[in-house]
Structure formats: C-alpha cells, structure tokens
Amino acid sequence: MELGHLPVLAEEVMQMLAPRPGSLHVDGTVGGGGHTERILEAASPDGRVLGLDADPAAIARVGERLARFGDRLVLRQANFQDLATVAPEAGFPAVDGILLDLGLSSFQLADPARGFSFRAGGRLDMRFDPGTGRPAAELLAELDEGELGDLFRRYGEEPHARRIARAVVEARRAAPVTTAEAFASLVERVVPRRPGRAGRIHPATRVFQALRIAVNGELDALEVALDAAVALLRPGGRLVVLAYHSLEDRLVKRFVAAERRGCTCPPSFPVCVCGRAPRLRPVGPQPAMPTEAEVAANPRARSARLRTAERLAA
C-alpha cells in the first residue's frame, strides 16, 4: 500500500509491460506512484521511467516519495495527450512500454478541495490540473437543462439524466450547486437507491463520472494519447491501458481493433489502396479483470479493465 493508495492490477500490469534492465517506459498517469515504483524496481539498475500527470500535486508527491531512484525517474506535469512532444523533449523518443491508468488516485478522491468524490465533499472542481480549464461547478451553473442532460447521458450513461438535469436547473434558481455534498444530495433525492445489490452504488456515481470526464476532456485526450503512444513504441513494445469506465474501455478496444486491422479501405474494395499496415496486436486477456480477492482488498478496483497491445514492426 503506497501511503493510502493501492495500484490496481499491479501484477498483471508488470507481467504485460515486462520491464527489464535498461528499458525505457512511460507512466502516463503517475498518480500515487505505485506502478511507477514497480517498473523502476524491475528495470534496475539502469532502466528509466518518464512519469506524467496533469495534477501538480501528484508530481510533487511522487517526486518526493521516489527520490531514491535519482535520474532514473523523470517527472513532467503534463496531460498524457501531450506525449508526442513531452516524451522526446524529456529524452524518451522511443520506448519499450507505455502505461495509461485512467483511474483517479486515492489522494485525489480524498482531497475535499478537489471535489472528485461526494464522500470527501468540498467544492465541485474536478480538474486534474487546478490551474487550467473550468471547474465542474461552473458547468452546473451555466449549461441549460438540455445540455446537462446530454452530458450526464453521454459521459455517465445515466438513465435518469433528464430528471437530474431538471433538478439541477430548479435548484440553482434558489442557490448555485457548488459543493460535492449538495450535488450528491440533490441526485439522491431525485434518483432513490435501488433495492438489492444495485443499491450499494450511490445514485450520484455516474453523474460525478460524467462531470469529471467533461471537465477534463478525458475521451478526446485519450484518443490523442493512444495514437501518440503507438508512434512512440519500439517494435515489440507494449501499450497497457487500465480503464474504469465503459466509454473509455470501449474506445481502447476499438482503437486496438483498428490498429490490428490496419487497412481502412471499404469492404467493397477488391484490394487495399490505403496502404495502411497493422501497427498493434492484442496480448493476453482482452480485457484482464481483477480477481475477487483484489476487489475485496481494494473495492475501487471492481470496475477495472486492462487491455494490452504490442507494437508490430514498422
């Protein structure tokens, strides 16, 4: 346990990345540093890792905690969508493995100043980088009912999206919805918990995810990052992605399938004219999932889906 943070599917990630002495890896979301630390240990004595995170607090925390690795760990505050420029500038023009863990760290969830969790409370901010973009509270204050409903349905796959959007608009006529507690309470009033096993999940879970994805432009960033990752990988290098949301996992699945196929010509064409060759091949289970034992030890792992693909020769 890394000071309160448990890295998800840690053994599976290490098996897929297969770090070795002298190898170069990128951890696109260092978070609590759990995966980063394991990669550095396995790549001892001279393997190096470039760690990225949009959250400046994560960079500072991991830099202090993993200082013992010296210049083997290079940290940059950056969103993984900037891989194409950040990696070469940091001395990683071609690498043996790239990890993209799309989940939140326990530190982010527990910080009431960030507003990521209705359990921690605090102002609704939800920005990975607090210095850029618009906080979630502004979206709730400014989007109309139709736009809010679309956001909750598109990014949260929330079946009660319209009802929640209507409740937000009605509530903000009296006072803005600015805190995680207020928003979660509002959702709970209009979407009661379902009986049985489904009722264990808070009714606000999907809309909190939806707001976070919208605030940080996560799906667009992931699409850019996946393409950049393939370009950075050496032949035989591996791309490992941990997703926790069906939209993210679906995007990764389709990307890998397209890169495995290569050719983009319509099926009606008798021969390929695009000339696009396959760039990836899937490796291992698609997806790999946490065991019951891991979920029992770390409930936040329950929705994790891991996909791995290997770079083919150019």
Give the pLDDT confidence of 235-284 residue by residue, as tens digits: 999 999 999 999 999 999 999 999 998 888 888 888 888 878 899 999 99
Question: 84: which 2 tokens?
Answer: 């194409």
What is residue 2's predicted lDDT score, i.e. its pLDDT? Answer: 45
pLDDT tens digits along 40-70: 999 999 999 999 999 999 999 999 999 999 9
Residue 154 three-state SS: helix
Contact status, residue 98 vs residue 233, Cβ threshold 8 Å: yes
Alpha helices in the chain (DSSP H): 10-17, 34-42, 56-65, 83-89, 106-110, 136-142, 145-156, 161-172, 180-190, 205-216, 218-232, 246-261, 292-297
Contact status, residue 309 vs residue 282, Cβ threshold 8 Å: yes
Nearest to 241 by CA among 223, 260, 258: 223
Which residues are CB-neighbours of 13 under 8 A, at least 6 positions away? 7, 35, 38, 99, 240, 242, 306
End-to-end, the C-alpha distance of the chain in Å comes to: 40
What is residue 197's predicted lDDT score, i.e. its pLDDT? Answer: 56
Average pLDDT across each block of 10 residues of the chain; the chain has 314 residues. List them in order: 69 96 97 95 97 95 96 97 97 98 82 79 88 93 96 95 96 93 92 66 90 95 97 98 94 96 84 86 95 89 94 88
Residues found in the chain: 314
Which residues are CB-neighbours of 176 under 8 A, at least 6 positions away? 137, 140, 141
Domains defined for the chain, CATH in brackets: 10-107+218-311 (3.40.50.150), 111-216 (1.10.150.170)
Residue the block writes with tokens 């379902």: 194
**Residue 86 exposure: Cα atoms within 13 Å on the Cβ side:** 21
Residue the block writes with tokens 């065991």: 291
Q: Label residues 208-221 b or e (16+ Cβ within 10 Å = b).
A: bbbbbbbbbebbeb
Distance CA 287, CA 194 (A): 29
Question: 54: which 2 tokens?
Answer: 């949009």
What is residue 103's predicted lDDT score, i.e. its pLDDT? Answer: 81
Q: In what order do the strands lie in the sheet with 48-53?
A: 73-77, 48-53, 24-27, 95-101, 233-243, 305-311, 280-282
Nearest to 129 by CA among 74, 228, 60, 73: 60
What single-letter DSSP state applies at residue 75? E
Question: 277: which 2 tokens?
Answer: 């060759």
Would you give the distance in Å from CA 214 to the centre of its chain?
Answer: 13
